């Protein structure tokens, strides 16, 4: 486990540093001001993502699918990107390309089921209560995407936002310039992570604000887990997703669909796993959920549960070392990690600490978010 802190540089009220092997930026002020800070601190990485996106111009027709107007269809994020344009050296249109880089590469998933399973989905597992040494939550997620994106691993960044408008501070992890939320935590220790639900139902409803921007809103606004539940209960999705959610004492998976109301997936006490299909008993998943042998969505979820139960059945608690071992097991070893697992995150909401490992790294980096999210100005 790498715990070192290395400062890099400051710009206005923002700063960049490295926590272990992971670059991080801490941003403060209005959304426009935070955009200026992000653009200046992440300029080189933004250009690299742009150049990578430009290698696949055939995908440019999909730009904008993560938002109907501007970047997200929400003014605060358009202000964020307006600030980025002032300091990054990139135009608003170039930043729109950067933000959409994953959408631009979607065509690489077509026609090859192995690539679909190796690169198009994610998996997650959580333990808490009697199953952990301190009864707190440990929530692990594997982010699975296209092998092409290995070229961009060193553009991944933890960004911590301190909005001046009174909203919660939020930390999120993504490619530079891709400021939609797929993994994040707010200052109240509320954690969210997103898995594709395309194997439950590939339905998409155009004209809605995309799920990845709504998750931002949920974390910016929510003081507790009850507030998260209310947000999911009152928001229909643009596409089908499974959302892992946790606070310091519990974890859930929300099955979020464009047509039917959001439901919480059933699970046993203190243990859950999610891949890319719904497990509610009344739900019929697509045939793809079971396809492609050992790498199917059903098998990857079953593998995660079995790996966890191997510890629990012999009376052993699952702490950080054990969950790291579960997360690191490949499909061939009976786990869920696939060739497209580009990064892994384990969140400990009680301590507001993340443990992060990229595909090209052998060690996990510890990132203590507590003081960063509380705005104390200290890294540890």
Determine the Cα–Cα distance for residues 211 and 217; give it in Å rounded to an integer: 10
Highest mean pLDDT among 292-306, 324-338, 365-379: 324-338
Phi, psi of 317 (to 5 degrees): -75, 155
Closest CA to 38 of 152, 161, 124: 161
CA–CA distance from 189 to each of 34, 181, 185, 245 (Å)? 22, 16, 6, 10
For residue 379, pLDDT over 60 is answered with: no
Q: What is the largest CA-CA distance in the chain?
A: 58
CB of 326 within 8 A of CB of 308? Answer: yes
Mind giving me the DSSP string for 170-192? EEEEEETT--S-SEEEETT--EE
- Show me where the domains of the chain are located: 5-374
Adjacency order of strands within the sheet including 122-127: 271-274, 122-127, 138-144, 341-348, 353-358, 365-368
In this predicted model, what pLDDT tens digit does every residue of 133-171 receive, in sequence order?
Answer: 999 999 999 999 988 999 999 999 999 999 999 999 999
Most confident by average pLDDT, 61-65, 67-71, 229-233: 229-233
Provide the pLDDT for residue 288: 82
Strand 251-256 to 365-368 pairing: unpaired
Name which residue leads in pLDDT, 11 or 378.
11
Helix, strand, or coil here: 103? helix
More confident: 103 or 265: 265
Which residues are registered as beta bridge partners of 174?
A: 157
Return the pLDDT at 68: 47
What value does the mean pLDDT take over residues 83-93? 96
| pLDDT, tens digit, 9 for 90 and up, residues 38-54 | 999 999 999 999 999 99
Q: What is the DSSP string of 71-96?
A: TTSSHHHHHHHHHHHHHHS--HHHHH
Candidates 3.30.2350.10, 3.60.60.10, 2.30.140.10, 3.30.70.3000; CATH matching 5-374? 3.60.60.10
Count of other CB atoms within 10 angstroms of residue 133: 12
**Would you state the pLDDT for residue 262?**
94
How far is residue 126's CA from residue 267's CA, in Å, rounded to a whole number? Answer: 11
């Amino acid at each position: 486990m790498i715990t070192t802190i290395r400062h890099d540089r400051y710009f206005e009220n923002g700063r960049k540093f490295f926590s272990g092997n992971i670059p991080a930026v801490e941003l403060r002020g209005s959304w426009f001001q935070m955009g200026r800070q992000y653009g200046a601190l992440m300029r080189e990485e933004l250009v690299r993502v742009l150049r990578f996106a430009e290698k696949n111009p055939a995908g440019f027709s999909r730009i904008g699918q993560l938002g109907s107007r501007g970047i997200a269809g929400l003014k605060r994020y358009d202000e964020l990107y307006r600030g980025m344009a002032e300091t990054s050296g990139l135009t608003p249109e170039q930043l729109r390309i950067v933000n959409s880089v994953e959408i631009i590469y979607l065509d690489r998933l077509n026609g090859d089921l192995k690539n679909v399973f190796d690169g198009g989905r994610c998996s997650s597992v959580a333990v808490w209560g009697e199953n952990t040494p301190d009864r707190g939550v440990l929530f692990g997620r594997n982010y699975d995407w296209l092998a092409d994106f290995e070229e961009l691993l060193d553009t991944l960044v933890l960004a911590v936002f301190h909005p001046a408008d009174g909203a919660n501070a939020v930390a999120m992890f993504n490619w530079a310039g891709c400021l939609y939320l797929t993994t994040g935590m707010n200052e109240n220790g509320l954690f969210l992570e997103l898995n594709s639900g395309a194997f439950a139902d590939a339905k998409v409803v155009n004209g809605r604000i995309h799920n990845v921007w709504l998750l931002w809103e949920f974390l910016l606004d929510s003081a507790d887990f009850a507030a998260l539940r209310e947000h999911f209960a009152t928001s229909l999705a643009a596409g089908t997703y499974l959302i892992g959610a946790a606070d310091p004492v519990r974890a859930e998976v929300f099955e979020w669909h464009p047509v039917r109301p959001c439901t919480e997936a059933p699970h046993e006490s203190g243990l859950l796993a999610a891949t890319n299909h719904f497990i509610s008993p009344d739900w019929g998943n697509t045939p793809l959920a079971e396809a492609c042998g050992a790498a199917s969505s059903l098998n990857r979820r079953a593998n995660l549960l079995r790996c966890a139960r191997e510890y629990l059945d012999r009376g052993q608690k699952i702490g950080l070392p054990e969950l790291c071992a579960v997360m690191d097991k490949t499909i061939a070893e009976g786990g869920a990690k696939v060739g497209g697992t580009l990064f892994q995150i384990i969140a400990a909401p009680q301590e507001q600490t993340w443990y992060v490992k990229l595909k090209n790294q052998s060690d996990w980096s510890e990132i203590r978010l507590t003081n960063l999210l509380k705005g104390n100005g200290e890294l540890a």
